[in-house]
Amino acid sequence: MTALIVSLSRSVAGAVREVRRRRRASGRSPWIAALVLALATVPAAPSRAQSQDQEPSSKGTTLLVIPPASKPRPAETQTKDEYVLDRGLEGRARRNLYQQAGESMTGYEAVLTLLSTGRRDDAMESLYAFETAFMEGREPKEIAQLFEVEVEVIRSLGRRDIESLVPVLVLHLDAYPMYVERRQPQLAGHSSRIAASLADLYAREGGSEGSRILGARALASLGIYAQQTGVKLQGLGLMLHALDFDPQNEAALLGIAAVHERSGNYHRAAERLLELLKAYPKHREGRLRMAVNLDRLGSPGQARRLLEELVAEPQADWVATVAYQELGRIHREQGHLDRAESVLWEGLERFPGDGRIRTELAFVLDYQKKPRRALSVIEEMIAGKAQDGPTPRRRYGLGPQEAYYDVLAGLNESSDARMPRLARLVNGSAGDRPAGMH
């Protein structure tokens, strides 16, 4: 406002001199005439919406700016204390543990022996049989005993070769969704806790950047699956803990952003997406999600630019489909109906089977008083073949699927590469076996 007053004052002073040189016959005061002239020549101040949506740039590079929050943002809650093992590989001294739980430990050791032969499906079924038998007739709170039995064997292996724990970690990662599918919530929670404890242990005790990255990937995959199955607080905590070991973990950053977006916390979502895009500037899903959240935060200009970049790229994937949907909607809401129509026709040409683009286009055509064309677009959708699988919009709502499955594939490769190290311990000579394995 001060700058506007200074500018106006300078303009008035200059205008006074001009008016005095050519005083009008009407006798109007030179100051009034000068004020009118000055107001006509001073540049208009940008509106609040325009200034908020301005996009600074440096050397041609677009810089994303998250609008300030209008209210306090909920904190990100971490739950890592639930699965950090005290004293790492050493653990507590339990002199009588092997005597008390020898039979149970032998059952778990048999599972790992089977796993070390490469028969992962058989090992999974063996784990299911062992753990369900262990809990039969026991109170739910006694699942802590199962945890202690398995952790002692895990620690024994890790003390001799920390890399041997990776196949065991992946076994319990796979057991988590197995128990969910078989409606065993208690054992599903147990599998998640064992896997998270193993991932944390390996990341902290592995002694390398690679072990930290692998542990972070395992924690991120657990967190994504947990939030997809409705355990949102635990899922968020696991993904946040993944960032403790790998601050640029793609799956964790995407997953955390998706959790915040679903809860309506768009500022937190945008902050995490900004971290992702600093590490991976061309990340397509990250840019799409950032555009959606920036628009919800009242910055449609930045959102529109991101979406325009996405639709201009050659990939004909679900990201491009949703980008067309969002870009058409933003143009429509801003009153740019011709632009909206043009974008949506282009999107329909690339993705003729997408019902959302057709619906949005029909809506725009109806706004433009073109009811026949709108009806024609809808009739083509009704007559067309239904789309197989989840729609792009549904795919957006599922969260970071590609990143999740990429993580699982990488973990499986790491497990296979280390399987001989597990086999050496569980099938080798007595001197190589963990204590308690006969």
Number of H-type helices and E-type strands within the chain: 20, 2
pLDDT of residue 380: 82
Residues 6+ apart with CB under 8 A from 209: none
Per-residue pLDDT of the chain (438 residues; tens, 9 = 90+): 333 333 433 433 443 344 344 344 344 333 333 322 222 333 333 333 333 444 433 333 467 899 888 778 888 888 777 888 877 888 765 544 544 555 666 889 999 999 999 999 999 999 999 999 999 988 888 899 999 989 999 999 999 999 999 999 999 999 999 999 999 999 999 999 999 999 999 999 999 999 999 999 999 999 999 998 888 889 999 999 999 999 999 999 999 999 999 999 999 999 999 999 999 999 999 999 999 999 999 999 999 999 999 999 999 999 999 999 999 999 999 999 999 999 999 999 999 989 999 999 999 999 899 988 888 888 887 776 666 668 999 999 999 999 999 999 999 999 999 999 999 999 864 344 444 443
CA distances from 244 to 4, 197, 252, 326, 412 (A): 48, 14, 11, 34, 22
The sign one gets for the Cα dihedral 235, 414, 83, 104 is positive
Please state, in angstroms and rounded to a whole number, the distance separating the CA atoms of residues 110 and 418. Answer: 18
CA distances from 378 to 93, 242, 357, 363, 383 (A): 71, 46, 10, 10, 9
Please state, in angstroms and rounded to a whole number, the distance separating the CA atoms of residues 399 and 98. Answer: 44
Nearest Cα to Cα of residue 355 among 388, 311, 315, 332: 388
pLDDT of residue 82: 80
CA distances from 110 to 74, 118, 143, 425, 431 (A): 46, 13, 19, 13, 18
The pair of three-digit structure tokens given for residue 220, joined into one six-digit string: 């991120």
Please state, in angstroms and rounded to a whole number, the distance separating the CA atoms of residues 37 and 31. Answer: 10
CB atoms within 10 A of CB 21: 8
The pTM assigned to this predicted structure is 0.80
Taking the domains of the chain in order of start, what are their residue ranges?
Answer: 1-42, 80-263+402-432
Q: Which secondary-structure segment (H or E) carries 57?
A: strand 57-58
CA distances from 306 to 211, 327, 387 (A): 35, 9, 27
Angle at 285 between CA 281 and CA 290, to 5 degrees: 75
